[in-house]
Amino acid sequence: MIWPILVAGPAAMGLAGGLTEPLRRLALRLNLTDRPAAHKAHARPTPYLGGAAVAAGTLVPALFFAPTWALRPMVLLLGGLAVAVIGLLDDARSLRPGPRLAAEMTVAAALVGCGIRIPVSGNPWVDAVLTAVWVVVLTNSFNLLDNMDGAAASIAVATAGMLAALALSTGQPGVAILLICLAAAAAGFLCHNWPPARIFMGDTGSLFIGFLISGSAAAAIGAGGGAEGHPLRALTALVLVTFIATVDTSLVLISRRRAGRSWLAGGTDHVTHRLRLLGLTRSQVPWMLMAMATLTGALGVLVAGGVLLAPAVLAGVVAVGVTAVWLLLRVPVYPATVTEKPADSPGVRVDETIGSVFTQAMPLVGGQLVIDRAASERSAAL
């Protein structure tokens, strides 16, 4: 069992890293690029298809080095492949939300039908429905996390690594190998996606990562996993290993609801964008995300194994999560219209919609908001 673990990781990293550059060139030839827009953080057209490298780098070594042909790793592998294809079609043709969601639910239902579920209610049918919904929600939450260079890949490296350790400890070597390959493939891709990114993973990669992490977490923590027979322990562990995705999705939904914006529209209102506006550099953001994912993932593993008491940890993580969302909501990220000031005003004359945070805004003068020129220029540079 040791040699597959030692070999699978480097093989996955090498394959994903080696495939990324050829796929980048192919994406440029096919014009599969993400073009800059007001709701996007990048400033130049950037090719997609990096997710195909992550998927291939994960699935091929996992299939080759898996110690057994057990049902769980195989259904996760095939489900991951199906979700990657859904993401690839979305990258190429922009699928409508309804058909895409229906396809994701079908894959999640197949996962649950093969015995992977989270036992939290005591009723197997209710657990099956909750597990399928949770997998789909988390799959799309990771899709939302792919909003800045290095963000989703960094979280994938840390989270998949922690879950691999849990799967090994619960006697699921096939699931562990798959997660090791995912972490290594994400690391190989990250070499090309680190700020400033030369390629994006697209929906192919983010949906693939989200599905494998959510499905593998259900396998490693739920029925047959580390927290079987302990619903509160399972719930706490799942919240911890997906903490960043949960906080980010909650933050975005609350922000857009309060601002009267569509939940489906893109925007620079995620955790990553707010961290940038609070002063972190483009390279510091993925490092912080990776550190946070490692910490919460490790706590999740300890809770699932019964080392830490679930009630106390759950209360703490909910308090931290709510506080984090509350604090990040105070960072303004949406446009606000400011009106032109008289010529004798000490501020800058503006009559436009400012599309970034209003840091270092000068005091209200005559009931009008006055923006410092240097602050405006720094905001535009973000």
Residue pLDDT, tens place only, 104-118? 999 999 999 998 998
What is the pLDDT at residue 340? 40
> Which range among 70-84, 88-102, 213-227, 239-253 shows the weakest confidence by mean pLDDT?
213-227
Asked if the model's pLDDT at residue 379 lies above 80, the reply is: no
What separation in angstroms does the CA of 145 have from each of 108, 165, 174?
20, 23, 27
- At residue 352, what are phi and psi to the nearest 5 degrees? -155, 170
Q: Do 370 and 343 form a contact (C-beta atoms < 8 A)? A: no
Q: CA-CA distance, 330 to 325, in Å (whole number)?
A: 9
State the Cα–Cα distance between residues 246 and 145, nearest whole angstrom: 10
What span, in angstroms and rounded, lies between the C-alpha atoms of 195 and 284?
10
Q: What is the pLDDT of residues 153-199, one digit of tens each?
A: 999 999 999 999 999 888 888 999 999 999 999 999 999 999 999 99
Residue located via tokens 């895409």: 100
- Show Cβ contacts of residue 94 under 8 Å, excluding neighbours closer than 6 positions: none
Tokens 């209003």, residue? 358
Q: Above 60 in pLDDT, residue 331?
A: yes
Among 5-19, 34-48, 335-349, the range with the most confident prediction by mean pLDDT is: 5-19
pLDDT at 92 over 60: yes
Is the bond preceding residue 342 a cis peptide, omega within 30 degrees? no
Tell me the C-alpha distance between 382 and 363, whole Å: 23
- Contact criterion met (CB below 8 Å) for 321 and 248: no
Q: What is the pLDDT of residues 243-294, one digit of tens each?
A: 999 999 999 999 999 988 888 777 889 999 999 999 999 999 999 999 999 9
31 annotated to a ligand binding site: no
Give mean pLDDT, residues 37-43. Answer: 54
Asked if residue 370 has pLDDT above 70, the reply is no
pLDDT tens digits, 306-327: 898 899 999 999 999 999 999 9
Residue 197 near residue 94 (C-beta atoms within 8 A) = no
Q: Is 203 annotated as a binding residue?
A: yes
pLDDT above 50: residue 347: no
